[in-house]
Structures are given as structure tokens and as C-alpha cells.
Amino acid sequence: MLITEILSRNARIYRSEVALIEREPAKNRRFEITWQEFDDQANQIAQILIQKGIKKGDRVVQLMTNCIEWLPIYFGILRTGALVVPLNFRFVANTIKKCVLTAGAKAMIFGDEFIERLDVVKADLDICVETFIFIGSNDKRPGFAESCSDLMKRTPARNPEITLSILDDAALYYTSGTTGTPKATLLTHRNLEFACYAENRHHFQTHDDNFLCLPPLYHTGAKMHWFGNFIVGAKAVILKGIDPLWIMEAISEEKVTVVWLLVPWALDILFAIENGDLNLEDYSLDQWRLMHIGAQPVPPSLIKEWLKHFPDHQYDTNYGLTESSGPGCVHLGLDNIHKVGAIGVSGFDWEVRIVDEDLNPVPLGEPGELAVKGPGVMKGYYGNPEATREVLVEDWLLTGDIARQDEQGFFWLVDRKKDVIITGGENIYPVEIEDFLQTHPAIQDVAVIGLHSLRLGEVAAAVIKVKPGQALTKTDIDNFCQALPRYKRPRRIIFGDVPRNPTGKIEKPKLREIYAGGAESPGI
């Protein structure tokens, strides 16, 4: 069933039940809409775009921060038969321009946070964009855009009944860009539909569940996890803000049952509990059944500490890519807590294998590139057949991640293929060192990168963020790392921030750029 049809069905069956809730604690605001209102708003958006000349196969850019309007607009674009193009709200003006022009977008729907950035590139966008629709109050609306709220007031909430096929193109999602320029990943309606079934099969959401949405909705991870609730007509809470107290208040007051966290947010919650800023006894949390994490390697030490405070929680790790329609091609599984640290086993209806440079399977236990195959694999990179051929081979998606498989069939992420450090002829996988350093009680966050060395080619450098109120020296870290094999010990120790993108991934190219010119340690 098309996801646009799932929305129609939810509106028929659960008409007056709450579908979406928005909480903005900083402004003490809360909004909600029912499934019927959700469906009506999507129909109005579709009608507006069709009146503006949008046809099946056109591209419509959606540039918005998380809000209660986000999902109705997304579904409205899909109902026109156009491809929805959600953009990262952190993109700078020139990246927005590149993405819009790559997509050849005919229309753009945007929020007031982006006016200044769009002003810079508006003349370039006019090459393809014919319609700009503004989400926000009229006193902020730029002259080149029309008001969405004004347009909706005079537009009927009638489904346009555009004929869609499960194999039709549906969306362009740009990759996170942590390894270079973002590429436009082309997903079909089949990809989106499959994400609904896979997520629900993994986490068993029922109509009584309530999903807390924290990550940005432009990212496949947040939306595809919500899809597990969506397919059974269960509600969701969109929380604007990631303060641990706000998270706990939302879980308690809205009776949230399922929460997907990124590693930094889970760490923040643990720090707040540890520091006494967060008292769990102040909140109603008995209904909270599942906490799961994805988008990045998860330190086993984090989960062990989490289960000390939340011993009754189900836990899952989810691995996926934009190119695999979001999370779930590999997942730990709710019954495999004894394998914390692994990314898991093949997800529902997925095949997974590890291959060498010639794409042959590697011996069990040996590291190689993770390859996946299933209904979630993208159609390709839009307008980039060369890049598509590099990662799609006979329906297998080459992920660019190095992994190994143990004797029980569980996959363990070793590192990004491009992040492997070769020092003196030895391969070093940064994630292994990061996981080790995360066990230090005074370390809040850590990233390990390769830096140039005249003698060894590259050396491992650890960028360490220390917990508030704690103190560490290079000697402390050197002594702690004596437990590692000599060649894996970081040769440079740098104390500083660990930049992460909105999906929680460490921005290693940025770190390499910052520290590439640093002096080598003695003896390198």
C-alpha cells in the first residue's frame, strides 16, 4: 500500500484520534492534530502545488526544521506525484543552491529560518524554481514567496487522486555529506512502503504506542522509525529541543513508549542523572518500553550504563543508510542484548554479506566491506550514473562500511572504509579505539582520525571531549591506552569538541581539516 494511501486509511479509521503532537518547551507551547486534520492538510498542500503547475515527476524541495506542519507537507507533495526533496536545515546557502539545482526543483516550501540563506542564492534558484511557498507569519514573509497559510485558507481539502504506482519515483534524499558533497539518493514509493513494514516488524509497534521524534525529519532515520507507528495509526510527539529534562517531561506527560536516540543525547541523559540534574523518580516512565539507537557506532559502555538506570527497557541498535531507505537493513534485535556492541543481524527481508575489494565474500571473522540487498535499496543517485555504478552491483548496495561477522552470525561495524588509518602498513579502525576510550569515566565524547606522518604514513589522533567538572591530561590518556596493542594507541591526543552533524555522525573531514597541520608527537 502506498504511504499516501496509509494516511487516507488512518484518517478513515482513526478520524478524531490524535496523530501528531508538537512540543516546544522553550516557548511553553503544545499543539496537536488528528488523523483527519493530518489528511486534510496533506490534501490542501497537494491542491496548492497542482494549482501552481506541479505535475507528476516534478521535484519539490522541502526546507524546514521539525514542526507539526512538516509531515502533512511531505505527504501533500507525494500526493501530487512529484518527488519530495527534504533538505538538511544545516546546509549553508551554496549547498542549498547545489541541491536545488541538482534536483531541478520546480517549487520550494521553506520556513522563516532560511530567509537569509535563500536571499543569497535566490537569483540562481530562479533557473528552475518557479514557486516559493513560505511557512510562517506574514510579517516575516519575503516578497518572492507566497504565504502557505493564506493559500490553505482558500484551498479545499480534497484528495487530488493522482494515479501512483508502487514503482514510481517518490523522493530525493541527500546523503549526510560527512565524506564529501551530498549526493541525491532516489527512493521509490516501494522503498518508502517497505520501510514501514520493516520498522514495524523490528519493533512491534501497535496502535497504542507513542513515538518520540527527536532527530530531524529531513533525515531518513527519524522518519522511517516513525513509519513503524504510522502504519498502525499510532501517535507521535515531535519535540523541539533535546534537553534531557524536556525529553523526560515529554515521555512522562505524553505517555511515550518508544524513543530513538542518538549517542550524544543518550550520553546527555546519563550525565544529567549522574550529576543529579535529572531525578527519574519525578517522572512517569513505566510505559516507556523501548529505547533504540542508530546512525552511528554505539559504545557498549553506554548501553551497559543505560540499563543500570532503565533495567526493564527493551533495546535495539539499528544500522542503515540513506541509500537503504533508512535504518533496519541490519539490526540487533530486541532479544539480543547480550550482543551489545554488534550492529546485529540481517533485518526483515534483507540479505547481508561482507566482501573484499573484488566483491568476493571474505572468510568468517575477517573484516571487509558490508554489502546489503533488499527492497529498501535505492534506485540510484539522481543524475549521477557513475556514482551509482560504484555502489550498486547486481542489486547489492556497497555501504562503504568495514565490518566483520562472528560465529553466531552477528555483524560488527569496524569503521568507515574511508576512515581506515594505515600506519606503518597496519590497518587501524578508529571505531575500535573510540569504543575503548569511551569506557574512561571522564571522557564525554571522542573521535579518532588519521593524520599525516612522514615516517608511518598516518598516525591515529584522538580528539577528546572531557566531561564537565572532570580533568584529563595527555599522560592520563597515554597510561589508559596501555591496554591497547601498541600500534593502536593514539599517537596524538587533542582535547577539544567533537563536531557531529544533526544525525549524530562525527564530522571527521572537518576534524582532519582542523588538525591536519598539527605537529607530530615525539617518536612518530
Q: How far apart are the first and last CA of the chain?
A: 59
What's the pLDDT band for 422 if we cut at 50, 70, 90? low
Lowest mean pLDDT among 89-93, 118-122, 250-254: 89-93
- Angle (CA) 145-148-153 rounded to 5° is 135
d(CA 81, CA 56): 4
- Cell matching residue 210: 507513542
pLDDT per position as a tens digit, 37-51 = 999 999 999 999 999
What's the pLDDT band for 524 if we cut at 50, 70, 90? very low
Q: Which CATH number fits domain 1-16+32-164: 3.40.640.10, 1.10.940.10, 2.40.30.10, 3.40.50.12780?
A: 3.40.50.12780
- Cell matching residue 505: 555522525
Nearest-CA neighbor of 465 among 422, 427, 498?
498
| Strand, coil or helix: 190 | helix
377 with 323: CB under 8 angstroms?
yes
Lowest mean pLDDT among 355-359, 386-390, 507-511: 507-511
Q: Where are the beta strands (DSSP E) in 225-286?
A: 235-239, 258-261
Q: What is the pLDDT of residue 178?
A: 44
Q: What is the pLDDT of residue 294?
A: 75
Instruction: Write the single-letter amino acid at 497.
Output: D
Residue with cell 550529576: 275
* Mean confidence (pLDDT) of the chain: 91
| Neighbouring C-alpha atoms within 13 Å toward the C-beta of 470 | 18
Q: Find residue 353's DSSP bridge partners.
A: 371
Q: What is the pLDDT of residue 179?
A: 45
195 with 83: CB under 8 angstroms?
no
Domain boundaries for CATH 3.30.300.30 within the chain: 420-515
Q: Does domain 420-515 have CATH number 3.40.30.10?
A: no
32 with 252: CB under 8 angstroms?
no
Q: Is the pLDDT of residue 470 over 80?
A: yes
Show the DSSP H helices in 398-507 as ranges. Answer: 430-437, 474-480
117 with 244: CB under 8 angstroms?
no
In Å, how far are 50, 75, 461 from 115, measured between CA atoms? Answer: 24, 24, 39
Q: Is the pLDDT of residue 522 over 60?
A: no
Residue with cell 484528495: 159
pLDDT per position as a tens digit, 222-257 = 899 999 999 999 999 999 999 999 999 999 999 999
d(CA 411, CA 403): 7
Q: Is the pLDDT of residue 31 over 70?
A: yes
Instruction: Write the single-letter amino acid at 440.
Output: H
Q: What is the pLDDT of residue 176?
A: 62
Region 318-328: mean pLDDT is 90
State pTM to two decimals. Answer: 0.83
Q: Is the pLDDT of residue 83 over 80?
A: yes
Give percent above pLDDT 70 in the chain: 94
Residue with cell 541498535: 317
Domain boundaries for CATH 3.40.50.12780 within the chain: 1-16+32-164
- In which element (H, E) is residue 51 found? helix 35-51
Q: Is the pLDDT of residue 366 over 70?
A: yes
What's the pLDDT band for 523 if we cut at 50, 70, 90? very low
Region 420-433: mean pLDDT is 73
